[in-house]
Amino acid sequence: MKHTASLLALSLALAAAPALADDDCEAPVQKWQSRDAVMQHAAAQGWQIQRLKIDDGCYEIRGRDAQGRSFKAKLDPQTLRVVKMKLRSDDHHERERRRERNAAPANAPVQDAVPGAAPTPAHSPVLTPGTTPRGQIE
């Protein structure tokens, strides 16, 4: 019985957790401040806005803060209070750019997964895209 009560309390607590983490804004549209007011508020914070949109009833800003760091922020449209803010790591974007630069071009030969194996030619005589595979079993 003791375990049942503990499990019930735990499950209720876990079910309530998403409700506490709500970052949606509930202000009626008639009470929203204008986009110009959001831009002025951001400028007062030292933010440089790259994108301003509406998401989940909140203003969502992507830009750079006064220190030059990338960020994403959700603002309450009525009070312009920050509901949620997330600093974005430029390391992630740099990794993506490096990965794209180092990626093989589409027409480059594909390397076999076996280390030391000879590379597969770009135009294989056995398999040509758009044709039926050919091969002979000996």
What would the pLDDT profile of 30-51 be if each residue is shown by its tens digit?
999 999 999 999 999 999 999 9
Please report whether residue 105 resides in a domain: no
Please report whether residue 65 resides in a domain: yes
Q: How many domains does the chain have?
A: 1
Would you give the distance in Å from CA 137 to the centre of its chain?
48
Q: Kindly indicate the confidence band of residue 20, based on its pLDDT and cuts at 50, 70 and 90.
A: very low
Please report whether residue 8 resides in a domain: no
By residue range, what is the domain housing residue 38?
Answer: 23-91
User: Residue 75, exposed/middle/buried by CB under 10 A (0-12, 13-18, 19+)?
Assistant: buried
**CATH number of the domain enclosing 72:** 3.10.450.40
Please report whether residue 110 resides in a domain: no
Encoded amino acid at 44, one letter: A
User: Residue 72, exposed/middle/buried by CB under 10 A (0-12, 13-18, 19+)?
Assistant: middle
Residue 113 host element (H or E)? none
Please report whether residue 77 resides in a domain: yes
